[in-house]
Amino acid sequence: MSGILVQQANQASIRNAILITTIAIGLAFLLTLTLKPEKLPTDLPLASQPIHIVKEGIKLLQRNATLRRLVLLSILTIGFWDYLASLYQPYFQKIGVPNAFFGVTMALASIAAFLAVNNVQLLEKKIGAKWALLIATLGPGLIYLVLFINPFPWIGVLAIISFRGLNALQNPLFAAYHNRQIASHHRATMLSSISMIAGGYTAVMGLIIGAIAEYSLNSAFLLAGLLVTTAAILLRMDQTTLTT
């Protein structure tokens, strides 16, 4: 819809898109007012306090080398999609993609992510856990490097769509492999720890990538691409480790 509304980058088109977005978010806000509050204890038990979660997570990582490698791989191959979703628009302008394709590309990227998540088990069954995870982690990094050197509009569009699909494979794959390495009574603690570490890493790298992108989009893509591809190659997992 945004692609249709903002055919031209002028004030009137952008204002209409912002207005419709505001209406949609306003309706969502009104919907939240119909939710009934859940009764929660005023004092959190020790096990649910952030500092305890971090400490328990560190202990588990110290005891399990395979889990350490998986966690490092899952964090260091984060594709920074949330940042790319903002950066691809000035990139499209730079390589001459028509404005009408901006929204269409995002819509197709979302469809690619949907299809990827729903077919991840089939992919893993066809090519094996090792190759499925390598594609999911290495693919986004390689696409960043394609964006770094690419001057062609249609390749840029295909790259963003492909990136979203490949990046979406990571969550279900890592969830399955993490769960195999974590006992059920530690699972919530460990997954919370991983989420906190990943959030901190993403926030710091987002500032760095954003600062570099202010001066050079290509340099930001190069940095992200080198980080992701290097981690994906150096920390790749073998078939036996992933399936046991």
State the pLDDT at residue 242: 67
State the pLDDT at residue 189: 73
Same-domain check for residues 17 and 129: no
In this structure, is residue 105 part of a structural domain? yes
Same-domain check for residues 24 and 99: no
Q: Please state the rounded mean pLDDT for residues 163-179.
A: 90
Per-residue pLDDT of 125-145, as tens digits, reads 999 888 999 999 999 999 999
Same-domain check for residues 23 and 84: no
State the pLDDT at residue 181: 77
State the pLDDT at residue 25: 93
In this structure, is residue 211 part of a structural domain? yes
Q: Please answer whether residues 165 and 113 qualify as being in contact, where contact means their C-beta atoms are separated by less than 8 angstroms.
A: yes
Range of the domain at 24: 1-40
Same-domain check for residues 116 and 14: no
Instruction: Indicate which CATH number applies to the domain containing 131.
Output: 1.20.1250.20
Residue 244 has pLDDT above 70, yes or no: no
Type of residue at 16? N
Same-domain check for residues 90 and 196: yes
Same-domain check for residues 201 and 237: yes
Per-residue pLDDT of 40-64, as tens digits, reads 555 555 555 666 666 777 777 787 7
What average pLDDT does the structure give for the chain?
85
Same-domain check for residues 218 and 182: yes
State the pLDDT at residue 194: 83
Which residue, 103, 102, 106, is CA-closest to 114? 106
Same-domain check for residues 161 and 82: yes
Same-domain check for residues 167 and 187: yes
Residue 77 has pLDDT above 90, yes or no: yes
State the pLDDT at residue 164: 95
Same-domain check for residues 171 and 74: yes
Same-domain check for residues 127 and 21: no
Q: Please state the rounded mean pLDDT for residues 196-223.
A: 92
Q: Please state the rounded mean pLDDT for residues 210-224.
A: 93
The string of DSSP codes covering 49-111 is: SHHHHHHHHHHHHHH-HHHHHHHHHHHHT---HHHHHHHHHHHHHHHT--THHHHHHHHHHHH
Share of the chain above pLDDT 70, in %: 85
**Whole-number Å distance between alpha carbons of 148 and 151:** 9
Q: How many domains would you assign to the chain? A: 2
Q: Please state the rounded mean pLDDT for residues 196-211.
A: 91
Same-domain check for residues 18 and 116: no
In this structure, is residue 45 part of a structural domain? no
